[in-house]
Amino acid sequence: MTNPLSPFATDRAEQPRPAGRAQAAPAPVEPGLPLLICASHREPWTQRRVGHAELTVRTTGGLVTALDAALRRLGGRWIATGSEPRRSRAPEDEDGATYEVEQLGLTTREMDGYYSGFSNGVLWPLFHYFLGRVNFDAREWREYERVNARFAAAVARGLEESDGAVAWVHDYHLTLAPMMIRKLRPHARVGFFLHTPFPAFEVFRILPTRQQLLEGLLGADLVGFHTRSYRDAFLEAVQKLVGARSDRRGAVEYRGHRTRTLFSPIGVDVERLSALGQDPRTTSKAQRLRRSVPGDQIVLGIDRLDYSKGILERLAGFERLLERQPRYRGHVTLVQIAVPSRERISDYQRLKRDVDGAVGRLEGRYGDAAWSPVRYITRSFQPDDLAAWYRAADICLVTPLRDGLNLVAKEYVACRVDGGGALVLSEFCGAAEELTGAYFANPFGPDSIADALEQALTDDRMERERRMAHLREEVVGNDVHEWAQGFLRDLAQG
């Protein structure tokens, strides 16, 4: 959600699908659902020049997977930021299904204020409890208002052009848009989903524009969160800050409008990931990766390079394990994949330098000619390559300091069709409420991470397989397509 969404939500070219690969189609969208107008900061499809060719490039991640499937079956439009104003159509799938993509084409000033400034300089750190990183600037707030108004106007046009359609707005970049849409189209059905945490009242109240943000969200008919605790924090905030009351079912009455709330954790495309996980090409690639990493055990970390992901704390925890248990030196290797993120923002530039330094110190302390404690990779990967890493890893180490949900944990489990592997998971990510078969760690304590790693490394095979079977039940039972359909069903039914 993360996004709070997957850390691999970066633009990359679609690769040709190998012949014979198992392709699992998502469950068909149930009849009776309406045409869909979506709005999100990131677009699902963009144009990129690769060599001398201009290719259609897809943005991957849980949200794109869910909404792309829904839009292809329901029809409609996806409205996103984009580098220039344009309308296009998504590439057709095997059945010829497509939908419209509208890019607003924000200016550099708008992106600096709305995105780098207020969205990622105020809301992102605030919602993830990094209060020292919150830097409120009234000019950036005004740009945030203007961009939300542009999105709202585009959604309103889409609703007018598509009779009977509903609007679904996504994430912290667009919290003001629901009320703006409501004012432009009073009778439209508007949904909103937040993919980050919603912070506790004592944290949220710090925001100078807290009332405007809450009133923006209360323009929606249905507001969704990944966990009950996020939903409850939102209800407490609207009661204490705007004086609105909620009933036992979490519905809020405010200025004559009723906003329902729900909590529903997003899933992953289980069938597709399971097909990737069991594909012979994936298993062969996983075997090659294992041979390329010195030692007997691979611990895998995969994240966007973001301060909320706890990469520095993870390195400290792994170092504590090697410090306390010398028997793991030369035998257990941490493979840390860090996908570059928001590289123009100074906080992220400092984080990269700090992580580079921490990896170097760990290597200097324990590495030798035959073994490196950390293999540090700073680039994005294609889904096939990620699946191979998931199959190669003995342990997936997911330890964000705070995360709306975290789909890496679910992707790892979905790929482990062999029943192997183990998941070490932070107590402070939304997925911890679902994935009860994980080994849990407090990422703020190096000893806690070391303890969880050691337990995962030393448990017998039967215990690890029991935990993974339980994790797979939890992941398979909450597929991303059912998540999207469930929200749209609730929105349409009122």
- Cβ burial of 57 (10 Å; 0-12, 13-18, 19+) is middle
Say yes or no: 301 and 446 in one domain: yes
CB of 286 closer than 8 Å to CB of 388: yes
The pLDDT, as a whole number, for residue 200 is 97
Residues 288, 213, single domain; the answer is no
Identify whether 41 is part of a domain: yes
Q: What's the pLDDT at 55?
A: 64
Instruction: Tell me if 108 is assigned to some domain.
Output: yes
| Identified catalytic residue from 171, 221, 306, 403 | 403
Helix (H/G/I), strand (E/B), else coil: 228? helix
Task: Indicate which CATH number applies to the domain containing 420.
Answer: 3.40.50.2000
pLDDT (tens, 9 = 90+) of the chain, 494 residues, equals 443 333 333 333 333 333 233 334 444 555 557 789 999 998 887 666 666 666 665 665 667 777 888 888 888 999 999 888 999 888 888 788 899 999 999 999 999 999 999 999 999 999 999 999 999 999 999 999 999 999 999 999 999 998 889 999 999 999 999 999 999 999 999 999 999 999 999 999 999 999 999 999 999 999 999 999 999 999 999 999 999 989 989 999 999 999 999 999 999 989 999 999 999 999 999 999 999 999 899 999 999 889 999 999 999 999 999 999 999 999 999 999 998 877 677 777 889 999 999 999 999 999 999 999 999 999 888 889 999 999 999 999 999 999 999 999 999 999 999 999 999 999 999 999 999 999 999 999 999 999 999 999 999 999 999 999 999 999 998 888 889 989 999 998 87
185 and 231 inside one domain: yes
Please tell me the predicted confidence (pLDDT) of residue 348. Answer: 79
Active-site residue, from 195, 226, 232, 306? 195
Quick one: 250 and 305 in the same domain?
no
Whole-number pLDDT of residue 208? 97
The sign of the dihedral angle between the CA atoms of 106, 111, 113, 118 is: positive
Beta strands in 45-189 (DSSP E): 45-50, 53-59, 76-80, 86-89, 100-103, 166-170
Model pLDDT, residue 46: 63
Asked if residue 211 lies in contact with residue 242, where contact means CB atoms within 8 angstroms, the answer is: yes
**Residue 195 known to be catalytic:** yes
For residue 146, the tally of other CB atoms under 10 A from its CB is 15
Is 463 a domain residue?
yes
Q: Are residues 306 and 229 in the same domain?
A: no
Residue 413: the pLDDT is 97
pTM confidence score: 0.89
Domain match, 210 and 289 both: no
* The pLDDT of residue 6: 36
Contacting residues for 22 by C-beta, under 8 A, at least 6 apart: 275, 278, 279
**300 and 376: one domain?**
yes
Between the CA of residue 307 and those of 1, 359, 362, what are the distances in Å?
Answer: 15, 16, 19
How many other β-carbons are positioned within 10 Å of the β-carbon of residue 263? 17
The answer to whether residues 290 and 239 belong to one domain is no
3 falls within a domain: no
Number of domains in the chain: 2
Residue 132, SS3 per DSSP: helix
Which structural domain range is residue 191 located in?
11-267+481-493
CB-based contacts of 107, cutoff 8 Å, min separation 6: none
pLDDT reported for residue 357 = 94
How far does CA 409 lie from the centroid of its chain? 11
- pLDDT at 381 (0 to 100): 83
* H helix intervals, 11-82: 62-74
Regarding whether 439 and 345 lie in a shared domain, the answer is yes
Q: Are residues 259 and 134 in the same domain?
A: yes
Residues 122 and 93 in one domain: yes
pLDDT of residue 42: 87
Using DSSP's 3-state secondary structure scheme, residue 39 falls into strand
Cα separation, 236 vs 216, in Å, equals 16
> Do 15 and 94 sit in the same domain of this protein?
yes
Residue 2: per-residue pLDDT? 40
Query: Is residue 187 annotated as a catalytic residue, yes or no?
Result: no
